[in-house]
Structure 1
Amino acid sequence: MAHLSQNPADKERFICVYPIYINSKKTLAEGRRIPTEKAVENPSCAEIRDVLTAAGMNVYVENNKMHPREWNRDVQFRGRVRVQVKQEDGSFCLDKFTSRREVMFYVAEMIPKLKTRTQKSGGGDTSSQQGDGGKKSKKKKK
């Protein structure tokens, strides 16, 4: 029975990562929390989720939540990602993430490497392949 009462509290202890925290288009006063040169242009919750899931983190998205300083009510700016940094016993889930800042820096570093980002800026001729790693092409057109 004690396990059931702990479950909701566990989710409450997950840290929140709003896209605004790592958005290079925002100022510190508007809610950005990392330096502009390390931040990403208009990140989405889905991108944050994808990066952290790939890193092996326990995450879930709350689409109906918004950062209080976000004035734009568009769907792309909505949502936040909850991330489990510590386990029930207080130990860290992954050693490389021991603080919110480390999580934010990692996400901001990895989002530009996502396929969805590399394809947009890749140009016309490389749109069907990944931008950086064109060595292994699994799909060959006949």
Structure 2
Amino acid sequence: MPKSKKQSRNSMTGGIPTPPPQSQSPFMMDLDDEDPPDMMPALPAYTKITSDDSAYKTWVCLYPVYFDSTKSVQNGRKVVKDNAVQNPLAKDIAESVKMLGICCVFEPHKTHPKDWANPGRVRVQLFTEFSKPFINDIPTRKELIKRVAKILSEIQGENPQKFPPSHSPAASSGILLKETKSSDTNVSGGGSSSTSSSVTSTSQNNTTTSSNSSKKKGRKGRK
């Protein structure tokens, strides 16, 4: 009895049946479709991407000068000097606000008019849209500044900043270097002037002594 075509094919392939055709995977994108599916993962519900900053225009602003121990009250400091730190950084202020559990926005290129050498600003959502504080223990801006100052002193207390940050306009323009050189020049100039004055006084004394001795010699010669 002659073998069928199907049996002859199986004998040629060693008896291994041909696998059935697989259906297209649902994760594969058909390039022939006019509107291919969006392969980007969905963002979480709490994530918001926007370029409009009008949403936080009314938020409270915090500047590093508010907490700077090197600044006076007239120059912008808003906390007691014992609670202030030296040259605080805006990023550490934002971290302090985060530790309080309040939403904030860090703006690294904003500056205070009286403290342009230390850039950075933090906007804090102190109140809700119904004008109620997010945290009942922090109902005012003054209380917020006190809380931030306490945390900031713990962050920067062990490693105080001696100079403004490297991205400061003062550091990039070389003003700090000029001030250092000028102070060194004043010190050296003061020392040289005192030395020259002492030399001058010594020379004057020598001149007076020589003139007196010449007068004495003249008197002896006359006798």
TM superposition score normalised by structure 2:
0.45
The corresponding residue for 2:114 is 69
Deviation at 1:8, TM superposition (A): 5.0
Is 2:96 the counterpart of 1:51? yes
Is 2:138 the counterpart of 1:97? yes
One-letter code aligned to 1:79? G
Q: Is the 8 A contact 1:25 1:42 kept in 2?
A: yes
| Residue from 80, 84, 89 that aligns with 2:121 | 80
Q: Is the 8 A contact 2:66 2:77 kept in 1?
A: yes
One-letter code aligned to 2:110? K
The corresponding residue for 1:106 is 147
The corresponding residue for 2:68 is 23
Is 2:59 the counterpart of 1:14? yes
One-letter code aligned to 2:122? V
The corresponding residue for 2:189 is none
The corresponding residue for 1:38 is 83
Whole-Å Cα distance in 1 between the matches of residues 91 and 77 of structure 2? 18
Percent identity between the two aligned chains = 28
The 3-state SS of whatever aligns with 2:86 is coil
The structure with the largest helix share of the pair is: 2
The 3-state SS of whatever aligns with 1:94 is coil
- Higher mean C-alpha deviation, range 25-34 or range 8-17: 8-17
Deviations 1:81-138 (A, max 9, x none): 0000000011111112111111111111111223x654x48xxxxxxxxxxxxxxxxx
The 3-state SS of whatever aligns with 1:103 is helix
Uncovered stretches (5+) of structure 2, i.e. residues with no partner: 1-51, 161-223
The corresponding residue for 2:197 is none
Whole-Å Cα distance in 1 between the matches of residues 122 and 64 of structure 2? 8
- Higher mean C-alpha deviation, range 30-39 or range 81-90: 30-39
One-letter code aligned to 1:39? A
Whole-Å Cα distance in 2 between the matches of residues 88 and 10 of structure 1? 10
Deviation at 1:10, TM superposition (A): 3.7
Aligned length: 109
The corresponding residue for 2:4 is none
Whole-Å Cα distance in 1 between the matches of residues 110 and 55 of structure 2? 19
The corresponding residue for 2:40 is none
Deviation at 1:36, TM superposition (A): 1.0
Q: Is the 8 A contact 1:10 1:88 kept in 2?
A: no
One-letter code aligned to 1:51? S
Bigger RCO (CA 8 Å, 6+ sep): 1
- Cα RMSD after superposing both structures: 1.9
One-letter code aligned to 1:45? A
The 3-state SS of whatever aligns with 1:33 is coil
Runs of 4+ residues over 2 Å off in structure 1: 7-10
The structure with the largest strand share of the pair is: 1
Whole-Å Cα distance in 1 between the matches of residues 88 and 53 of structure 2? 28
One-letter code aligned to 1:113? E
